[in-house]
Structure 1
Amino acid sequence: MSGPEGGVVSGPGAGPGDGTTAPPTGFQSAPAGFEVRPVLGIGEVRPGDDLAALITTAAPWLADGDILVVTSKIVSKSEGQLVDVPLEEPAREAARQTVLRAETSRVVARRGGTQIVQTHHGFVLASAGIDASNVEPTRLVLLPKDPDASARWLRDEFRERFDLRVAVVVTDTMGRPWRMGLTDVAIGAAGIDAMTDYRGVLDPYGNELQLTQMAVVDELAAAADLVKGKTGQVPVAVVRGLPIRPDGHGTGAAALIRGADADLFSLGTAEAVAKGLRAAADIRDTPAIAFPELPPHVLPAHVLPAHVLPAALAPAPVTAAGLTTDAGGAADRALLVWAPGGDLRRAVEAGMEVQRIRAGLAADGVASAWVGVDQVDLSGVDVPEGGMPLGVLVVGRGSLPSL
């Protein structure tokens, strides 16, 4: 393997199955091998440049079936995705922040001057992919507006103008959670499936694969970057020896974006904590909490750890109509909340403690509800002398906040 000066990176093919099931989608058979070749001599790309012509001129050896892996920066430059900024600070940084806000759909994490954000495309990366490298000092390069559309356009250009049946992968450099270092990944693709889906395929030991979906275009992006590099002005590489789609563009790299419903790490730690704290300060009861009409049950207050309760939440048994055993026989957990009569400060403290308890329960996925004294029958309940009941905290009933 050698570098961008003209080397080729090669690798053997490998297959997961034993032939007893249908091959996975994407690559339909194990390739015998592949090679990665740099495209040299493209030079500086400017707005309005004919990118397809620049590539074919620099690589007259292109052939049907090749996969062109194209750095997003030259796609952005040709499409005019550039922003002029001042050269001197602090005006330059102020302009960059303005651009960053415009390119950001939400902030995922922020540490000092570093911001990990989600772009309007759905990508999560540092500084919305805004780049100040390999461009004039007075300009910033943005990501292509629609990288999949750019890949499709390039593929069509090669077919219609140069009679070449190729696939196109548009790449950008990103970090990875829990991993140091950067790698190139695909942000646009055409003519090749974004993923190879092995779910349902048996491994050599007869185990059915359940979750294995390989991000093929990301693997191609990383392999191509081995010959493109970051400083050698080699923005395009060609992967040869792997199959492409015979027709149609495919789903594009957008298929790799993990939706919010499947994202277990949608925020940085500090941002998630802050969101939780804000939600905890606004836990609301549903308008009406329906408790089954069953005989009253006497519930001990010590179901919650006594050490977390201030004096105003001293244990006291609760007999309340509707606070009953459920069908499984386990009692609803209830706690009578009271404060010294006429002591407004202690009453407020008790309310704050209830809120903190509910926030902790909600964080553990346990529902709770606040039942006012006018909603329960507290006759026969022993309240400490001079105490005034404020309400009953019910654990295991009610609604959870959306954190």
Structure 2
Amino acid sequence: MALTLTPIPGIPLIYPGDDLGEIIYKKTIESHLEPKPGDIWVIAQKIVSKSENRIINIQTIVPSARAFEIANKTLKDPRFVELVLRESKTVLRQKPGALIVEHKNGFICANAGIDHSNVESSQENPEDWVLLLPEDADKSAQYIRAKLENLFKMPFGVLIIDSHGRAWRNGTVGTSIGLSGLPAVVDLRGKPDLFGFKLKITQVGAADELAAAASLVMGQADESQPVILASGFPYQLREGSMKELIRDEKEDLFR
């Protein structure tokens, strides 16, 4: 079966309190698209964060002494740094122009995923508004999935993705930050390869692979395609979570 990725057209600008499940359902029906049981809805983090009112004005933030210290090293606004610290467990790397942290949800990323791009605000001084990641993206995915399954009367998976950089490589890639109803990792250990030898270490980051593929269709600028319907996912669906993708610190050779 081929994997197909279909953008849902007409998704409007999202504002705090908007019901993403209702909006996705309405626009899917209007577009005469017909999802199938087992399809996966891949959703851009930004519209999830906006619907959950994760928009913050940095003018309201009072930096701590530590934020000022890190801001001097990274040449970033200390109010922005303070927000990053509040969203993080640990600061891993800092240098001019870069602040790498362990997000409080466990994954490693720059600036705790806080972003200003594609953050629209009608308020005064729109450049002061930034967008935080969802408080718990797995729970966000569970909520949206329950709504879509109720509306369409069939089972789905939901994957929330963001664009993250990678160690040792240039460029951002679509990455999972929350999911429901699909595996994050598929364990192929013990399966035979082409010549009958059993795989010993192969575990596929299936959710991240789908995130990267869907991100190509979404785009990164003004494409306005934040929801992708994925059909033909090549692995069996099951309950999964982001925790599957987080390498235990004891096994991390590069910290």
By the TM > 0.5 criterion, same fold?
yes
Q: Tell me the number of residue pairs that the alignment of Structure 1 and Structure 2 aligns.
A: 229
> Is 2:228 the counterpart of 1:242?
no
Q: Deviation per CA, 1:357-399: give whole Å up to 9, x if none.
A: xxxxxxxxxxxxxxxxxxxxxxxxxxxxxxxxxxxxxxxxxxx
Checking the alignment, whether the CA contact within 8 Å between 1:132 and 1:139 is kept in structure 2 is yes
2:69 paired residue number: none
Checking the alignment, whether the CA contact within 8 Å between 1:217 and 1:253 is kept in structure 2 is no
Q: CA shift at 1:197, angstroms?
A: 1.0
User: Which of residues 75, 84, 90 in structure 2 aligns to 1:100?
Assistant: 84
2:138 paired residue number: 148
1:135 paired residue number: 119
Q: Deviation per CA, 1:108-138: give whole Å up to 9, x if none.
A: 1112131010011011010010011000333
Structure 1 segments unaligned to the other structure (5+ residues): 1-31, 267-403
Q: CA shift at 1:244, angstroms?
A: 6.9
Which residue type is aligned with residue 242 of structure 1?
F
User: Which of residues 189, 207, 211 in structure 2 aligns to 1:217?
Assistant: 207
The Cα RMSD (Å) is: 1.8
Rg larger in structure: 1
> Is 2:29 the counterpart of 1:65?
no
Q: CA shift at 1:177, angstroms?
A: 1.0
2:190 paired residue number: 200
C-alpha distance in 2 between matches for 1:257 and 1:244:
20
Q: Deviation per CA, 1:132-184: give whole Å up to 9, x if none.
A: 10003331111111111111111111112332321100001111111111100
Checking the alignment, whether the CA contact within 8 Å between 2:218 and 2:228 is kept in structure 1 is yes
Structure 2 segments unaligned to the other structure (5+ residues): 61-75, 121-126
Identity of aligned residues (%): 37
Checking the alignment, whether the CA contact within 8 Å between 1:148 and 1:254 is kept in structure 2 is no
C-alpha distance in 1 between matches for 2:87 and 2:13:
25
Checking the alignment, whether the CA contact within 8 Å between 1:46 and 1:77 is kept in structure 2 is yes
C-alpha distance in 2 between matches for 1:115 and 1:48:
31
2:103 paired residue number: 119
Q: CA shift at 1:103, angstroms?
A: 1.0
Name the one with the larger helix percent: 2
1:49 paired residue number: 18
C-alpha distance in 1 between matches for 2:236 and 2:151:
19
2:164 paired residue number: 174
C-alpha distance in 1 between matches for 2:82 and 2:18:
27
Query: Structure 1 stretches (4+) deviating beyond 4 angstroms?
Result: 243-246
Which residue type is aligned with residue 46 of structure 1?
Y
Q: Deviation per CA, 1:228-263: give whole Å up to 9, x if none.
A: 0011121111111226766xx612122101111111
SS in 2 for 1:132: coil
What TM-score does the superposition give when structure 2 sets the normalisation length? 0.85
What TM-score does the superposition give when structure 1 sets the normalisation length? 0.54
SS in 2 for 1:59: helix
- Larger RCO (alpha carbons 8 Å, 6+ apart): 2
